[in-house]
Amino acid sequence: MVVRQMVVDAVLLEGRSIREVARSYGVSKTFVAKLVKRFKEGGAEALEPHSRAHRNDPNRTPVELEDRIVELRKQLLDYGVDAGAATIQSHLARELSQSPSISTIHRVLVRRGFVNPQPKKRPKSSYIRFEADQPNEMWQSDFTDWTLTTGRTVQILNFIDDHSRVLLASRAVSVVKGADVIATFVQACERWGTPACVLTDNGAVYNAISRHGRTAFECLLDDLGVNYKHGRPYHPQTQGKIERWHSTLKKWLNKHPARTLPELQRNLDEFVEYYNEVRPHRARGRRTPSVAYGERDKARPGRFQHPPRYRVRRDVVDQAGKVSIRHHSRLMHIGVGRRHSGQRVILHVVNDDVRVLTDNFKLLGVVTLDGNHSYQSMQRVD
C-alpha cells in the first residue's frame, strides 16, 4: 500500500512522467497509469488491492442447494446422529436426481462455519481391521452404563452383526445378569437367525474363564453349535464395532433423555429402527445395515464343540453334609453326607461331572450335575 501511494505521489505531486516513475520503481507503465486513475476516481482507499476473483462464479453451488445442505446438517445434529458430508450426500441422493459430491458438501459446510479444523488424525492404514464375510458369521456383544435424568445408573445390553453392522438387539436393564444375556440372545436369534460365532469381552455374565468354569450362556452356545470367542483382558479394540456403536448410541441418547427404564427402552427401539433402516453406514459403502444384511447368504452354526473345562475346588462339608458349587451360573449343592460334616474335600470338575475327594485324595463319590435341580445327590464309592 505504501509503494502504491509513493507511485501516485511521484506522478501527481512531483510531476514526474509515468514512464520515469515506472522505470524507477520497477513496475509497468500500465500499472502506474491504473493507480493514478484509481486515485483520481476514489482517493487513497481506491489504491487497495482488488480481488481478482470472478464476481459471479458459474460453478458455485446454488444458494438453494447450500441452504438445503445446511438444513440437513442441522436436522441430523438435532436428532443426535452422524451429520458429516458423506451422510448428507446419502440423504440428498434420495431427494435429487444428481446430488453434489462429498467434497462440494464439505466446502459448503466449511464456508457456512459448520466444520472446525481438527488436528491430523492417525492414518487409516495404521489400523489392523477384521470383518466377517457374511451376515451372522460373527455377532459381537457388550453392555454399557447410562444415567437417567433422575440420576439413576442403568445398563444397556447390545448385540451387533460384525459384517452388516445391523443392531440385532438393544435392551435396557437395571443391571445386566446372565439371564438377561441369554434372553436377549435368544430374542435376537428368533428375529435374525442363529449366528456361527459370538465375540464378547471377559465379563462374568458372558464367561467364567477367570473362575475356571462355564456360564449358562457358554453352555447354550455349545448346545447350539455356536463358536464362542472372547477378547483378551483390557483390550476393548477386539470388540471395536460394538464399542463404536456405544459411542453412536450415547450421542443420540444425549439428545433424547429418558426418566424411566421403560422410556429409555422406547428410545432404544426408536433409534435401532432408524440405525438399521435409515442411517447410511460409512463402513458399508453408505448403505443401511439392513440392506447390507440382506445382500448376502447368512452363515450358520457348525458342529463346533467347546473343549472340556477342568476345574479344581477345595471346600469344607457343612453341618448339613453338603458342599456348594456354582455351575452354569447357578449355585448347586452336592450331598456328601452328614458323617463327613466338617471334613475338607476337593472337587474335580470336568464339564458336568464332579468327583469328590478327601484332602488326602480318597474318592468319596461322583455326581453328574443336573441344571434342573439345585440339590445334587452324590453316588458314593465305598
Q: What tens digit of pLDDT does each residue of 217-244 get? A: 888 888 888 999 887 665 556 677 888 8
Q: What is the pLDDT of residue 234?
A: 57
Torsion angle of the four alpha carbons 239, 179, 268, 95, in this order, in degrees rounded to the nearest 10: 60
The answer to which of 143-157, 263-277, 354-368 has the lowest mean pLDDT is 354-368
Q: What is the pLDDT of residue 160?
A: 93
**How many residues in the chain?**
382
Query: What is the separation, in whole angstroms, between the first and last Cα of the chain?
Result: 111
In terms of C-beta density within 10 A (0-12 exposed, 13-18 middle, 19 or more buried), how is residue 52 classed?
A: exposed
pLDDT tens readout for residues 294-348 = 888 888 887 555 566 677 788 999 998 899 888 766 788 999 888 889 999 988 8
How far apart are the C-alpha atoms of 309 and 369, rounded to whole Å?
14
- Check pLDDT > 70 for residue 138: yes
Residue 34 in grid coordinates: 491504473
Question: Contact, 176 vs 118, CB < 8 A?
Answer: no
How far apart are the C-alpha atoms of 195 and 66, rounded to whole Å?
45
Q: What is the pLDDT of residue 5?
A: 78
What's the rounded mean pLDDT across residues 39-50?
77
DSSP states of 284-295: GTTB-HHHHHHT
Question: Contact, 224 vs 198, CB < 8 A?
Answer: no
Q: What is the pLDDT of residue 294?
A: 87
Q: What is the pLDDT of residue 239?
A: 74
Nearest to 155 by CA among 246, 60, 286, 65: 246
- Check pLDDT > 90 for residue 152: yes
DSSP state of 52: -
What's the rounded mean pLDDT across residues 175-181?
93
How far apart are the C-alpha atoms of 327 and 349, rounded to whole Å?
10
- Check pLDDT > 90 for residue 147: yes
- Check pLDDT > 90 for residue 70: no
Instruction: Write phi, then psi, for 30 (nearest 5 degrees).
Output: -60, -40
Residues facing residue 356 across a β-bridge: 347, 365
The CA–CA distances, whole Å, from 177 to 145, 171, 194, 351 equal: 14, 12, 21, 22
Q: What is the pLDDT of residue 121?
A: 60
Could you tell me which residue, 270 or 245, shows the higher pLDDT? 270
The CA–CA distances, whole Å, from 300 to 131, 200, 304 equal: 17, 19, 11
* Beta strand pairing call for 330-335 and 353-358: unpaired
- Check pLDDT > 60 for residue 182: yes
How far apart are the C-alpha atoms of 304 and 123, rounded to whole Å?
38
